[in-house]
Amino acid sequence: MNVDFDLYSHGNSLDHPTGNPTRMDKRDDVEFDVVTGITRDINKYLAVRVDYSYTNNNSNVEFGNTKPYEYDRHQVGVRLIFSY
């Protein structure tokens, strides 16, 4: 599990919701990550692994009625592992 607090020192065009580039809001993000997985041996040299990852990113930046840096992400991966 990971929790990140990101403070951005350099703004971009989405960081000033009023459209006024002289008034930049400081962007602050909080990201929460959870990764888990399970590995199953097939034989002495071969295994298969299934991973699941969840990411939740929250940001204070708003552009109109949207929050372009805010998202939830689910990822599933399958790996074939060879060992020798």
| Distance from C-alpha of 3 to C-alpha of 72, rounded to nearest angstrom | 14
Range of the domain at 27: 2-82
Q: Whose structure tokens read 């962007």?
A: 27
Provide mean pLDDT across the span 45-59.
95
- The more confidently predicted of residues 76 and 2 is 76
Torsion of CA 49, 50, 51, 52, to 10 degrees: -170
pLDDT for the residue numbered 77: 97
| pTM of the predicted model as reported, rounded to 2 decimal places | 0.69
- Please state, in angstroms and as integers, the Cα–Cα distance from residue 5 to each residue in 38, 41, 60, 67, following that order: 28, 37, 12, 17
Q: Count of domains in the chain? A: 1
Give me the mean pLDDT over the 46-67 stretch: 90
Q: Is the pLDDT of residue 24 over 70?
A: no
